[in-house]
Amino acid sequence: MLPPALEAEILAAKLPKFRAKQLSEWVWDKFAGAYDEMTNLPKELRVLLAEELPITPLALVKTTQSGDDTRKFLFRLADGNLIESVLISAPGRLTACVSSQVGCALACSFCASGLQGLVRNLAPSEITGQIQMLQSIQKERISNIVYMGMGEPFANFDNVLESVAILNHSKCAGIGARKITISTSGLVPGILKLIRDPRQVRLSISLHAATDEIRNRIMPINQRYPIAELMRACRKYQADTGRMITFEYILLDGITCTQEQADALARLLRGIRCTVNLIPYNTVEGLPYRRPPLPAQKSFLHTLMDARVRATLRMEKGHDISAACGQLRLQNLESLPSDS
């Protein structure tokens, strides 16, 4: 909750206002995961709060550690649905990748998250709850947030922006807006609405192909918002906000990772201040795609660089535990191994 909402709850429960401040400090500064940790609160109050005002709507079901510095967390929501979040550590930063929906309606053909469609939107507290849980497990402050887990953030626009407000608020998680990135598969109305939001969050576009012919094949959303319309929205976003844009581009062998697509991409992005993140395809069981060989990946990168488009080839983390881009999928408890 934002501080005014929390204060209202506290006052409604006939408690003194300063309790609200104590609660936020415990949750957001001292990473408390349970009321019992809040030692300066009277015992009876802790019992009461635990019943009346659950500290988070999430329960940790399972943690998976990868060979690199990536960990995946499976959380159960109050209604039994499951979501995943990922923590990625690097020197000087701890990035959380959060989900915005249970499942996803967009059905991009290379992505595990949309294989079984959309179940429902996450509430703001179920998004902020992921950060709260991760910090309380880790007992460490998260420095960066990417809305790149399960779901399409702009299909749940209001709740996502409400969660950003809470995570950004100095009395809550206090994470700088510039350290928060929202990634979209290209929902144009969401991009245009983001222009009007006062917070300076970063925008990332899952472009993945440079021509409608290829993009229609792999991302059904392109039939609704084709590339020209998407790029118009991106240019407007940049003109009105002055902010950089990141374009994500998946490398699928023989489909998106070709010389023609690289040339078309360089032409498409001319005049836009942006970085292209090339993401070599991560294996999703049952899908027909292949990751291109490294020389093909590098050749794509060099075509962009030669055309003076800023680009990086992403070093994937968490692939071994299916925590990498596009590998988060709907799960149900029955399918989990019995040790979890």
Report the interface residues with ligand SAH, using CB under 6 A: 108, 110-111, 148, 152, 183-185, 206, 208, 248, 250, 279, 281-282, 284, 325-326
Nearer to ligand SAH, 22 or 331 (CB): 331
CB of 279 to ligand SAH, least distance (A): 5
CA atoms within 13 A of residue 269's CA, in its CB half-sphere: 30
**Per annotation, catalytic residue among 104, 111, 257, 325:** 325
CB of 263 to ligand SAH, least distance (A): 22
The CB-nearest residue to ligand SAH is 326
CB of 41 to ligand SAH, least distance (A): 38
Nearer to ligand SAH, 7 or 316 (CB): 316
CB of 245 to ligand SAH, least distance (A): 12
Nearer to ligand SAH, 56 or 100 (CB): 100
Q: Is 38 exposed, middle or buried (0-12, 13-18, 19+ CB in 10 A)?
A: buried
Residue (of 165, 137, 160) closest to 150 by Cα position: 160
**Per annotation, catalytic residue among 7, 84, 152, 162:** 84
Residue (of 253, 310, 236) closest to 287 by Cα position: 253
Annotated active-site residue 84? The verdict is: yes
DSSP letters spanning 248-273: EEEE-BTTTBSHHHHHHHHHHTTT--
Q: Which two tokens stand for residue 170?
A: 């100095």
CB atoms under 10 Å from CB of 91, counted, come to: 5
Annotated active-site residue 9? The verdict is: no
CA–CA separation, 118 and 183 (whole Å): 17
CB of 320 to ligand SAH, least distance (A): 14
Nearer to ligand SAH, 95 or 282 (CB): 282
Nearer to ligand SAH, 126 or 152 (CB): 152
At a CB cut-off of 8 Å and minimum separation 6, what does 314 contact?
277, 278, 279, 280
Residues labelled as active-site residues? 84, 325
